[in-house]
Structure 1
Amino acid sequence: MTKDLRTRRAFLKGSALAGAATLAAPAIATAAGETTTWKVQTSWPGGLGLQVFKDWCGSIKEKTGGQLEFIPFGAKDVVGDFQLFDAVKNGVLQAMNPFTLYWAGRMPAAVFLSSYPMGLRNPHEWDVFYYGLGGLEIARELFAREGLYYVGPIHHGPNIIHSKVPIRSVDDFRGRKMRLPGGMVAEVFQELGAKTTLLPGSEIFPALEKGTIDVADFVGPAINYALGFHQVTKYISMGPPGFMSLYQPVDLMDLTVGMDAWNALAPEMKQFVEMETKAYSVHHHAAIQKADQEAWVKFEEAGTEVTRLSQDDVEAVTEVAVPRWFAWANKDKDAARVFQIQLEYMKSGSLGYVTDDMIDGQELKL
């Protein structure tokens, strides 16, 4: 066996161990050489999400024996959230860690690459879609057309709604000025009567503080508390017990890399980044969910009141959401084929979220 082959096998073995281990894993390679450096910007504006991201980026150089280094940037540090796509495409950044839904306006299929109202509802269901039903391959195909390499999804958790007034039913959204991430989510709330606006996470607090909006959705309790939402709102609205968010029950981020930067990596390093991203998704999700448990106590101490929608509200949102599913899926052939996979999964005996009666009269134009 040659020295190069032994080194390559050792690297792959170490990559698997590093991806499955904690962020303090030992170096996986020892070969000398120049360090490839990537500037990577996340959509996290602060709180635990940003810290976990920075810790992860800080672990990459050691894990690769100095071969690859991620230089982390928070939201707006280099470019605005909605400029990330072009910044990576044009080489201003080498990679991004955005909320995938942000690209629904330029890539309709992106609305189905993150959770949507009354769709897939648990992280493992999205893992089945990406890693079992062909979702990852399709996502990579779509992003490749834009000169980008979609490495993989990164789980966060359910989104919740903060408001200055109590939201006790879907009727209470009528007339409210509400921040949402856009796409199908915004359209559903518009049909429920809300006056929606699209803002990145970093602009939500000042908009609530100034009264530009009086209702805002954003990620989960730990990060929202760290961002100070309890200081400018009095209420949190969620779905029924066990269904925290009717409109985005699994918020998905991702790691996407510029194609030139990706192609410059050796095959072993590409495999490492893919494996590491999958392991990071588990760590990222679990760390935030743990912090959420502590944040609920803090919200209670701050006097925040938690209200929950009813099963009647679930049915009302479903009635509005289903036609929007098909409207978005029929925007182009790619969106249709992604949604078809998810629709068949939701209709299957494994889930049963969708029945033929629910989609009667709807047509998917493949």
Structure 2
Amino acid sequence: MATDRAMNHPSAVGAGATRRALLRTSGVAAAGAAVALSAPFVRNARAAETTVWKVQTSWPAGVGLQTFKNWCGTIKEKTGGELEFKPFAAKEVVGDFELLDGVKNGVLEAMNSFTLYWAGKLPATAFLSSYLMGLRYPHEWDIFFYSKGGLQAAREIFAKQGLMYVNRIHHGPNIIHSKKPIRGIEDFKDLKLRVPGGMIAEGFAAIGAKTTLLPGGEVFSALEKGTIEAADYTGPAVNWDLGFQQVSKYIWTGPPGLESIYQPVDLMDFCVRMDVWNKLSPAMKRWVDDEVQVYSNEHHAAIQKADMEAWGKFEKAGTQITRLPAQDLPKFQRVAVPIWFKWANKDKDAARLFKLQLEVMESHTCGYVTPDMYKGLKIDA
């Protein structure tokens, strides 16, 4: 009876109505949240047609190319049909070293390249990927990009070329395949060696190697013909897929714990022609930026997994793997440091990037560079 009276009280009726209203509102909110969670991006209603970008990568084959193509294949669905990436392998549309111009000139809308390829045209890009004895691990590069202003600096440098540097893409260490054993720094003397250019080429030339610059897609044939005796190129998984075990008997890496002393993080990037980028809505720009980070994670993980599995294949094929003796590291350091400063002084952009990276390398977070290593050297640019 008391319960009936309580339920019939005006305040109780109001409370019940309020509870029902809240339940209805919560249901709508929950449904809205479910929709938001199930769709990574809500299509812009004003985008009547799908915008298609032709995107060429520097990957010629292997897990790198397949991961890139798989990722491109998800974009249209993720954006509700607003944006689509049409992927192309290295050299499918333009030559590997013509990628930057291909995007600038409108042949492609975007590129996924090895950033170091542009060091000859843009010296600052030598500091946007690994270099001899420089930043050593992915997290150190992220300190530079996201804690020291490196990303904004990179975007400003590429903007001068009419390109939007969307973001960096992590890759793994590079290794050297050779027709003859390399056990120490002395074995590079007179070795005909393929390198990607920039400070890396100058570093190996300084220890006596006869360096030549080739895009990755031409390395196998050069080794096969004997025009080169050794070649730096990516890691074991991609190199296995490219057949390097057929044309070389030896692999050389850095000491334990540092697989590569010259390209431990062979960074790639995703760049878009600026006029194409500026046609995107602010929301879509933010989404693409975030999505490149997603791709970076997928790419890096796929490369590492495949590399771990590939080592055994090389060993089974009879490839001999040698590591640099730890005592040779100071020898490479002495060669590398003057080259750092030489490249930093090529222009103001290069100097800007190197100053930021030197701060990271000297910090107690890293601590493997000290002022005595560059005594008498300075940045003038």
TM-score by length of 2: 0.89
Residue by residue over 1:114-144, the C-alpha shift from the partner in whole angstroms, topping out at 9 and shown as x without a partner, is 1111110000111111111100100100110
Q: Which residue of 1 aligns with 2:206?
A: 191
Separation in 2, partners of 1:313, 1:341: 27
1:337, CA displacement in angstroms?
A: 1.1
RMSD of aligned alpha carbons: 1.5
| Equivalent residue pairs, number | 347
Q: Which residue of 2 aligns with 1:3?
A: none
Q: What 5-or-longer segments of structure 2 have no aligned partner? A: 1-31
Separation in 2, partners of 1:142, 1:357: 31
Q: Name which one, 1 or 2, has greater alpha-carbon Rg.
A: 2
Local SS of the residue matching 1:109: helix
Q: Is the 8 A contact 1:103 1:110 kept in 2?
A: yes
Local SS of the residue matching 1:281: helix
Q: Which AA in structure 1 matches 2:194? A: R
User: Which stretch of structure 1 is more off in the superposition, 351-360 or 67-76?
Assistant: 351-360
Identify the match of residue 127 of structure 2 among 100, 106, 112. 112
Q: Which residue of 2 aligns with 1:37?
A: 52
Q: Is the 8 A contact 2:59 2:65 kept in 1?
A: yes
Separation in 1, partners of 2:108, 2:198: 25
Q: Which residue of 2 aligns with 1:164?
A: 179
Q: Is the 8 A contact 2:143 2:360 kept in 1?
A: no
Q: 1:270 to 1:176 in 2, by over 3 A?
A: same
Q: Which AA in structure 2 matches 1:338? A: L
Q: Which AA in structure 2 matches 1:360? A: K
Q: Is the 8 A contact 2:59 2:90 kept in 1?
A: yes
Identify the match of residue 298 of structure 2 among 283, 290, 294. 283
Q: Which residue of 1 aligns with 2:145?
A: 130
Question: Which runs of at least 4 in structure 1 moved beyond 2 Å after TM superposition?
Answer: 25-33
Q: Which residue of 1 aligns with 2:276?
A: 261
Q: What 5-or-longer segments of structure 1 have no aligned partner? A: 1-9, 18-24
Separation in 1, partners of 2:315, 2:120: 37
Q: Is the 8 A contact 2:173 2:260 kept in 1?
A: yes
Q: Is the 8 A contact 2:120 2:198 kept in 1?
A: yes
Asked if 1:242 corresponds to 2:268, the answer is no
Pairing 1:12-23 to 2, within 5 Å after superposition: none
Q: Is the 8 A contact 1:36 1:67 kept in 2?
A: yes
Separation in 2, partners of 1:109, 1:353: 22
Identity across aligned pairs (percent)?
64
Q: Is the 8 A contact 2:135 2:141 kept in 1?
A: yes
Q: Which residue of 2 aligns with 1:20?
A: none
Q: Which AA in structure 2 matches 1:231? A: Q
1:298, CA displacement in angstroms?
A: 0.4
Pairing 1:166-185 to 2, within 5 Å after superposition: 166-185=181-200
Separation in 1, partners of 2:107, 2:75: 20
Q: Is the 8 A contact 1:26 1:62 kept in 2?
A: no
Local SS of the residue matching 2:337: helix
Local SS of the residue matching 2:373: coil
